[in-house]
């Protein structure tokens, strides 16, 4: 089975998150990888939410594995109608469907590459495949794995998120925070008897729109970004709202920590607004001079570059001791979360070939 065939099979499995339902995908991939000779482990970070780790050991216990990782969940279809089958269609050289680019094409390429390496026998070093649940809701599966002690040793990490088939060296960090205000409810005709929670939150949101996070531009990642993604408050037009909340998305670069962001958000929002984080993950950056990259670029030449989104590497790379990490997948970043999402059929199979060559060289086969 080609990587494209497997990708189509994966896209046909509905793993929309929420609720997730990664189990059918884990069942399929675990059976394949076990048949290929890899040792398979399932780890649930929540009931019915399995993460899959598959290992191909090397002959030399002192050599760390190459980790190849991807996630199995997808975002919902969205409200707009699809003109293509949302759960898998091949047409015009493309695989259409939710998750085709983000990132079942990449997962399929990882699995097929690992099967091909396993067929060559046991090398000096090994492989560790980490296929996660719940990435789309804040890397929940990867964060659980990182703190659980079940990961092995990895000397390098490949994340098969969509990059158009080119290896990139960095992604931004992230801080998600909730800004909330409390008020006193009253009848809408007598607002002087209450305290409106929306007004101080609205003033804070306006202040955040002009906030300068004051950090130097990073050569690969550029500037940090801030976006207020949601705002809600009140329960009826004829009531003074006693609570309001906004959610804030800050993408960070080296030199700007989550703690620094929180300090600046709180200073800008003012004392009436409580701001609490619920995800805080640092950027992932690999030095362009890292020796392993010579192998990467020999297989797939590219200029040093970065993506603006964050990946499971934000949790996994630190847990492995910060080995060099590349983001390198066959999907198209601008297709992620889109209606009629697609990935190039040619790039999916090309990625499997590239990953096989990278893994073969790592293992010394």
Residues assigned a catalytic role: 73, 135
Q: What is the DSSP string of 37-65?
A: T-EEEEEEEETTEEEEEEEE--S-TTSPE
> In sequence order, which residues have a C-beta less than 8 Å from that of residue 321 and are 6 or more positions away?
none
Q: Sign of the CA dihedral 239, 240, 242, 244? A: positive
* Nearest in space to 177 (alpha carbons), one of 255, 280, 257, 268: 280
* Nearest in space to 101 (alpha carbons), one of 303, 343, 276: 343
CA distances from 362 to 124, 280, 297 (A): 8, 32, 14
How would you classify the pairing of strands 127-132 and 94-96?
unpaired
Cβ(83)–Cβ(340) below 8 Å: yes
Q: What is the DSSP string of 75-102?
A: ----SSPPSS-TT-EEETTEEESTTIII
Identify the three-state secondary structure at position 301: coil
């Amino acid at each position: 089975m080609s990587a494209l065939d497997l990708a189509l099979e994966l896209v046909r499995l509905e793993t929309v998150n929420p609720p997730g339902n990664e189990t059918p995908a884990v069942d399929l991939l675990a059976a394949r990888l076990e048949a290929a000779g890899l040792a398979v482990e399932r780890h649930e970070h929540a009931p019915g939410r399995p993460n899959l780790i598959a290992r191909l050991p090397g002959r030399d216990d002192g050599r760390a594995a190459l980790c190849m990782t991807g996630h199995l969940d997808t975002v919902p279809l969205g409200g707009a109608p699809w003109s293509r089958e949302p759960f898998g269609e091949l047409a015009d050289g493309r695989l259409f469907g939710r998750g085709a680019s983000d990132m079942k094409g990449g997962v399929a390429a990882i699995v097929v590459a690992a099967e091909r390496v396993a067929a060559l026998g046991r090398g000096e070093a090994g492989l560790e495949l980490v296929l996660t649940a719940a990435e789309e809701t804040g890397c929940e599966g990867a964060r659980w794995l990182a703190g659980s002690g079940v990961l092995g040793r990895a000397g390098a990490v490949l994340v098969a998120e969509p990059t158009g088939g080119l290896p990139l060296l960095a992604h931004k960090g992230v801080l998600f925070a909730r800004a909330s205000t409390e008020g006193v409810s009253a009848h809408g005709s007598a607002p002087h008897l209450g305290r409106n929670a929306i007004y101080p939150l609205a003033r804070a949101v306006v202040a955040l729109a002009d906030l300068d996070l004051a950090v130097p531009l990073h050569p690969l990642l550029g500037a940090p970004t801030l976006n207020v993604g949601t705002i809600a408050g009140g329960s009826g037009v004829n009531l003074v709202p006693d609570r309001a909340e906004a959610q804030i998305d800050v993408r960070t670069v080296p030199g700007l920590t989550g703690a620094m962001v929180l300090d600046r958000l709180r200073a800008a929002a003012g004392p009436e607004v409580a701001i609490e984080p619920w995800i805080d993950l640092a950027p992932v950056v690999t030095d362009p001079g890292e020796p392993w990259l010579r192998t990467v670029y020999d297989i797939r030449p590219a200029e040093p570059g970065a993506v603006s989104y964050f990946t499971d590497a934000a949790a996994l790379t630190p847990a492995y001791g910060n080995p060099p990490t590349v983001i390198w997948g066959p999907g198209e970043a601008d297709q992620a979360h889109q209606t009629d999402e697609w990935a190039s059929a040619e790039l999916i199979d090309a990625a499997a070939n590239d990953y096989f060559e990278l893994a073969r060289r790592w293992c010394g086969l």
